[in-house]
Amino acid sequence: MAKKIKYQLEFPIHASPHFIYQFLVTPSGLSEWFADNVNSRGELFTFFWDGVDEEVAKLLAKRQDERVKFKWVEDTEDEYFFEFKIQVDEITKDVSLIVTDFAEADELESAKMLWENQIDELKHIIGA
């Protein structure tokens, strides 16, 4: 299997870190913008799309109002994950959401576009 490429995308979001965080770490928040439905049992989150697609991710780390890190269970490579990091500029107090993910070289642009669409949906939901 080809080695995946790590990439980061930064999105300015006009909302408080606490408010954004709820949409990144709770099943109800994630089901508002990331998947059609999300269930969780402890550290395992099950994401449903279109009623047929189902993926399970393990919550690897979280820090209140700062970051959430997941790993797809079916991805056997330990170094691959996806992470949401909320960053606040110390001077301007502008808030950004930084998404870190991995994709194969031939899927990199479509993966970035998918995240752009997902984050646009998040912004729409929270009114940012």
**Residues 107-118: tens digit of each pLDDT:** 999 999 999 999
Q: With contact defined as beta carbons under 8 Å apart, do 14 and 96 qualify?
A: no
Q: Residue 88: which pLDDT band, with cuts at 50, 70 and 90?
A: very high
pLDDT band at 65, cuts 50/70/90? very high
Instruction: Name the pTM for this structure.
Output: 0.90
Q: What's the domain count of the chain?
A: 1
Domain hosting residue 53, numbered range: 5-126
Report yes or no: 36 and 11 within 8 Å, Cβ to Cβ: no
CATH code for position 37? 3.30.530.20
Residue 1, pLDDT above cutoff 80: no
Structure tokens at 46: 């099950």
State the Cα–Cα distance between residues 49 and 36, nearest whole angstrom: 5
